[in-house]
Amino acid sequence: MVALLLVPGEVTFLPLYDLVTHLGWLDTYWALVVPFLATPIGIFLMRQFFKTLPQDLFDAARIDGAGHLRMLWHVALPLARPALGALGALSFLSAWNMYLWPLVVTRSTEMQTVQIGVNMILNEEAARWNVVAAGAILALLPTLVAFLVAQRQFVRGITLGGLKG
């Protein structure tokens, strides 16, 4: 998994584009979202977090008759809220700030992302810098909101649950 972190995104660009084309997802939301749901950094982050959970919690759930899925749903996932919040924030920020991938997989102007729109404003004959700055600020707002939501999730996840003793 650590070796996959060393592979640059440009190496996987063409195979991902080929996959999206074969699935018929060009110019759809699926092409913008699905290829980046499971990333090596996300798998590594969640694995490392789940390895830190105390085994006593799972032993207690097993004694109470919980199966694997129930332990995952009722024990591990509630404790993983900080890690899931961090992963969600990282995934959202990396997907939101992409420029090249949405430029390649979207054809219509309705499907193009904000970053492409800001660049289109910038590339006009007489670029008005006040409009470009307003577009950049509008592109920044969802990032700020995602950070504030994830920050609250970090605090809530840390204060929930855990072993006392």
Number of folded domains that form the chain: 1
Burial 63-75 (b: 16+ CB within 10 A, else e): eeebeeeebeeeb
Reply yes or no on whether the pLDDT at 137 is more than 50: yes
**Confidence at residue 84, expressed as pLDDT on a 0 to 100 scale:** 86
Say what the pLDDT of residue 14 is: 93
Other beta carbons within 10 Å of 36:
15
- pLDDT single digits (tens) 13-60: 999 999 999 999 999 999 999 988 888 888 888 888 899 899 999 999
Residue 2 lies in a domain: no
Rounded to two decimals, what is the model's pTM? 0.75
**pLDDT score at 125:** 62
Residue 57 lies in a domain: yes
Residue 109, in any domain of the structure: yes
CATH of the domain at 49: 1.10.3720.10
| pLDDT reported for residue 154 | 56
Whole-number pLDDT of residue 104 = 93
What are the pLDDT digits (tens) for 83-102? 888 788 788 888 888 999 99
Instruction: Return phi, psi of residue 116, to 5°.
Output: -70, -40
Instruction: Say what the pLDDT of residue 165 is.
Output: 43
Residue 75 within any structural domain of the chain: yes
Range of the domain at 115: 9-159
Residue 1 lies in a domain: no
Give the Cβ contact number of residue 139 at 10 Å. Answer: 16
CA distances in angstroms from 77 to 29, 55, 56, 88, listed in the order given = 27, 14, 16, 14
CA 150, 155, 158, 159: dihedral to nearest 10 degrees? Answer: -140
Instruction: Calculate the average pLDDT of the chain.
Output: 85
pLDDT at position 146 is 78
Smallest CA-to-CA distance from 94 within 12, 137, 32, 46 is with 32
Residue 118 lies in a domain: yes
How far apart are alpha carbons 81 and 79 in whole angstroms? 6
Band (pLDDT 50/70/90 cuts) for residue 153 is low
